[in-house]
Copies of this chain bind each other. A is one copy, B any other.
Amino acid sequence: MRTLAIVGTGLIGTSIGLAMSRHGTAVHLLDRDASAARTAAALGAGVTDAPAGPVDLAVIAVPPGAVAGVLAQQCARGLARSYTDVASVKALPAREVSGSISDASCYVGGHPMAGRERSGPLAARADLFEGRPWVLTPSSEVAQTALNHVLEPVAQCGAVPLVMDCEGHDRAVALTSHAPHVVASLMAARLEQSPQDALRLVGQGLRDATRIAGGDAHLWADILRSNAEPVARVLREVEKDLATLLIALEELAEDGGPPGPDMRPMVDLLERGVAGLRGIRPAPARRTAGRRPFRVPIDEKPGELSRLLDTIAEHGVGIDDVITGVDAEQDRMTVEFAVPAISAQQLHRLLTERGWQAEDTSVPSQRHRQPSRVDQLWEEEVVQETRAASLPSLP
């Protein structure tokens, strides 16, 4: 790709400009706000003067509602041979584009799945898209050249192209991005008139839970408008769950009743929440198959367990993968965990060196003993029970 035009030098447009300029592509920056374009240029994202002839590809980096209009405008003046956009909604722009330009074969919808709470060119980074999915939604009549023109910046930004249909994409982002933004805003809005002494108690949990609500309000209103139906469908379900929970809470508030049947709605929602998180664990934290279960009896001198935990941590065993128990026969404390099969042997040797008698419970045991609980360890419930049994208190 030799020449690229970017229309809309906000966070995304400017970041693409920075990445492509580094790859030697001649990038032309356009924005209705001249100082935004000049800011992007001064950052090194490209130049602000118009291209002499049509460029290979124009990236329309404006909000969803503005895509079709800007695209038609630029097609009319022949800005580029191919066009794409980066809007976080795809069905609406696709509909509007097919109505606004004569030949839609030069347009491929796109959505790089990256961003920051800050917006504007100053927040741009050349590495913003590295390793992130970049959704493309080519229509049936799209030209091969156009598709290839779009795939090149995706690759050069270090992103992973992912082809989806518009509706599938819009339902997906409604669930994973747009509805979560609304839910975070609903909570953040409660903090507006909160008393000072309440704010003294704010911790990282609340900050993380509401961080995404910091995005630009008008931009996000346009995103929600453009994806109204899928977002509304998710939020209707949220509303149902909330209504059920509120009924239970207000009954409890009245009679202050003891735990019992009226606890179910709470437990049910909270458990579904825990279950929902399993699917979105960051890859490293995710439990993988093909692990080997270990069982290590330890002496109960202070710090002994910490020493063992540190040792197995070196082999990627987190405390979430560990269960401590007491051997019924020998009344001895045992630590059970699982390690990636690949490092099982090495860890076994290391543990022996450091004075522990590790049992690989996946090989038949030398002596009779109750079946290892670690095989069930993948069942979060076991961990939950263990935790509940130890009656911890949380903030």
* Alpha-carbon distance A5/B320, docked complex (angstroms): 27
The answer to whether A326 touches B277, judged by C-beta atoms less than 8 angstroms apart, is no
A29 to B: closest C-beta gap in Å = 11
The answer to whether A201 touches B245, judged by C-beta atoms less than 8 angstroms apart, is no
Is A62's CB within 8 Å of the partner chain B? yes
A36 to B: closest C-beta gap in Å = 4
Report if A88-B41 is in contact (Cβ < 8 Å); known contacts: A187-B179, A280-B191.
no
* Alpha-carbon distance A306/B124, docked complex (angstroms): 11
Residues of chain B with a CB closer than 8 A to A249's CB: 224, 228-229, 231-232, 235
The answer to whether B392 touches A333, judged by C-beta atoms less than 8 angstroms apart, is no
* Alpha-carbon distance A135/B197, docked complex (angstroms): 11
Is A54's CB within 8 Å of the partner chain B? no
Interface size of A by CB at 8 A reads: 161
* Identical subunits present: 2
A 296-310 binary contact with B (CB < 8 Å = 1; else 0)? 001011111110010
The answer to whether A239 touches B237, judged by C-beta atoms less than 8 angstroms apart, is no
The answer to whether A239 touches B243, judged by C-beta atoms less than 8 angstroms apart, is yes
Most buried by B among A162, A171, A183, A298: A183
Residues of chain B with a CB closer than 8 A to A162's CB: 200
A390 to B: closest C-beta gap in Å = 4
* Alpha-carbon distance A120/B190, docked complex (angstroms): 31
Q: Which of A138-146, A206-214, A357-365 contacts B (4 or more CB under 8 A)?
A: A206-214
* Alpha-carbon distance A390/B219, docked complex (angstroms): 11
Is A118's CB within 8 Å of the partner chain B? yes
